[in-house]
Amino acid sequence: MDIALPLLVLLLAGAAFWLALRLRRGSLQRQQAISQLLDAADALEARLRAARAEIETVAGHDGNPVRAAMQDLLRQRLWLQENAESASLAQLRGVRDALDAARASLDRQLRRVDQARAGAA
């Protein structure tokens, strides 16, 4: 019996330490996911601003498709502001992946515009 109490205390301390590490790891993963999501949103916003300027140079202010994309980006940022703490890591990564895909799509479309412009010149 003399060894049972110290052993139990040691086991409980070990379990508490393990739990603290798991919680910290989860918190770090969440913060990293949020940081990556914000970086992706910033990159998309910068690319959208550049695209808007380029399209306005060619086509003027009318019918600029970038406005809708900027509004979608704003909706994503508002969602993040309201849900970042309660969203799962999978949801945060899904939003980041959607932002990355939107930026890649925009880049492809702008390359086509450049190619079309180069062919017309």
Q: What is the DSSP string of 8-74?
A: HHHHHHHHHHHHHHHHHHHHHHHHHHHHHHHHHHHHHHHHHHHHHHHHHHHH-STT-THHHHHHHHH
The tens digit of pLDDT for each residue in 5-15 reads 666 677 777 77
Residue with tokens 């704003």: 74
Which residues lie closer than 8 Å to 80 by C-beta, 6 or more apart?
34, 37, 38, 41, 95
Q: What is the pLDDT of residue 13?
A: 77
Q: Around Cβ 43, how many Cβ atoms within 10 Å? A: 13
Whether the full predicted model's pTM is greater than 0.85, yes or no, is no
Q: Where are the domains of the chain?
A: 32-120
Q: Measuring CA to CA, how many Å separate 84 from each of 38, 79, 87, 99?
A: 11, 8, 5, 15
pLDDT tens per residue, range 72-120: 888 888 888 888 888 888 888 888 888 888 888 888 877 877 787 787 6
Residue position matching structure tokens 């393990």: 18
**What's the length of the chain?**
121
**DSSP 8-state assignment for residue 1:** -
Distance CA 53, CA 21 (A): 48
